[in-house]
Amino acid sequence: MSYKVMGITAGRKNGNSEILLKEALMECEKQGADVTMINLRDYHIIDCTGCTSCTKAMSEGKNAGCVLDEKDDKKKIMDVMLNQDAVIFSVPTYDLMPASVYLTFAHRSLSYETSFLESIGAIEHRDRVAGLISVGGSTRAWQSMALEGLQATMFTTDMKVVDMILATRVPGNAQCLLNDELMERARQMGEHIMEAVRTPAEERKWLGEEDMGWCPNCHSNALVLGEKQWDGVYYPVECQVCGAGGNLVQTEDGKWKFVIQEDGLLKDRTTVAGRAKHLEEIAHTQGGFFGDPEKLALVRERKMKYVNKQFKTV
């Protein structure tokens, strides 16, 4: 059986992100995959307007799509992307995080929110895996939110991340070609992707470096101090990406590690069950607003002060 693998990049033409992606995809092709690749810079993608008409329709049991579906290339790409067994994303780091060309594309995925659409029976569940490559001119220090930013965009379309590469210190165009180790690691990502797609979905696991990042659940390298959540759940320390909760523990050799507590994966955003908890939150928070005519009237009245106030613009 031929597996479908897609590569999506957002870097310079023939630049580092494209080259590393192609190296990974060539390995997939070698192993028999049917490969597609695009650079988002070749497409027209409009920013999400924030209208939320997609999720409002979902809450009424309908799949309305996006109001911009006919206006740009997002749907054309998604029709192919969602029909893949695996997708590798390779994105340059700008200002510590993924370049906006990619983020604009990713933030338009709300109308494809798989857990919503599956829960209303609008789509069938499909298991997909993903590999992530962040490419920057600097070390980890100047790419502190790069992979984590990419990871955060994987939930909406239910992509299980099985491998990640932080490609560091490649500022020049195609400079990655001077780093044999990095090129080999990109090829290995292709190998990992093929191994993952050939593994039954319920047995798929992380194939990147075992000790990558702080979080033993999603391998992000970013933790935040916890705060009491909407339903009272509190963890002293949380993984910024997957939401795993626990605390820092010092090991005998004096190193610190993040240990997830017993109920710490209750809201694990990498799983459908964990994300369903967020749907509960949305229903709870919005229910207290949209469902209350008095509150709505009060907001309408108070809003006029701001609607009527205008400053000079540019």
Ligand X SMILES: Cc1cc2nc3c(=O)[nH]c(=O)nc-3n(C[C@H](O)[C@H](O)[C@H](O)COP(=O)(O)O)c2cc1C
CA distances to 91, 122, 180 from 286, rounded to whole Å, are 34, 22, 52
Of residues 5, 7, 8, 17, which one binds ligand X by CB under 6 A? Answer: 17
Residue 37 backbone phi and psi in degrees, to 5: -145, 140
Q: How far is the CB of 142 from ligand X (least distance, A)?
A: 4
Residue 248 backbone phi and psi in degrees, to 5: -85, 135
Of 18 and 113, CB closest to ligand X = 18
Q: How far is the CB of 145 from ligand X (least distance, A)?
A: 9
Of residues 47, 95, 209, 263, which one binds ligand X by CB under 6 A? Answer: 95
For residues 235 to 264, the per-residue mask of contacts with ligand X, x marking binding by CB under 6 A and - elsewhere, is ------------------------------
8 burial class (0-12, 13-18, 19+ CB within 10 angstroms)? buried
Region binding ligand X by CB under 6 A among candidate stretches 25-33, 91-99, 188-196, 237-245? 91-99
Tell me the residue number closest to ligand X, measured at CB.
11
How many angstroms separate the first and last alpha carbons of the chain?
Answer: 57
Listed in sequence order, the DSSP H helices in 31-130 are 53-59, 74-81, 100-107, 114-119
Of residues 65, 137, 216, 226, which one binds ligand X by CB under 6 A? Answer: 137
Of 11 and 213, CB closest to ligand X = 11
Region binding ligand X by CB under 6 A among candidate stretches 76-84, 108-116, 132-140, 269-277? 132-140
Of 131 and 264, CB closest to ligand X = 131
Tell me the three state secondary structure of residue 8.
strand
Contact 113, 32 (CB under 8 A): no
Of 172 and 288, CB closest to ligand X = 172
Contact 10, 38 (CB under 8 A): no
Give me 103's structure tokens. Answer: 């983020």
Of residues 32, 171, 236, 288, which one binds ligand X by CB under 6 A? Answer: 171
Listed in sequence order, the DSSP H helices in the chain are 16-30, 53-59, 74-81, 100-107, 114-119, 146-152, 180-198, 272-290, 293-307
**Distance between CA 32 and CA 194 in Å, rounded?**
9
Of residues 7, 98, 131, 136, which one binds ligand X by CB under 6 A? Answer: 136
Q: How far is the CB of 26 from ligand X (least distance, A)?
A: 17
Q: How far is the CB of 186 from ligand X (least distance, A)?
A: 12
For residues 151 to 170, the per-residue mask of contacts with ligand X, x marking binding by CB under 6 A and - elsewhere, is -------------------x
Of residues 135, 162, 186, 207, which one binds ligand X by CB under 6 A? Answer: 135
For the CA atoms of 140, 145, 148, 152, what is the dihedral angle to 10 degrees? -170
39 near ligand X, judged by CB under 6 A: no
Give me 271's structure tokens. Answer: 């799983």
221 near ligand X, judged by CB under 6 A: no
Give me 142's structure tokens. Answer: 């100047």
Q: Which residues bind ligand X (CB under 6 A)?
A: 11-12, 15-17, 92-96, 135-138, 142-143, 170-171, 173
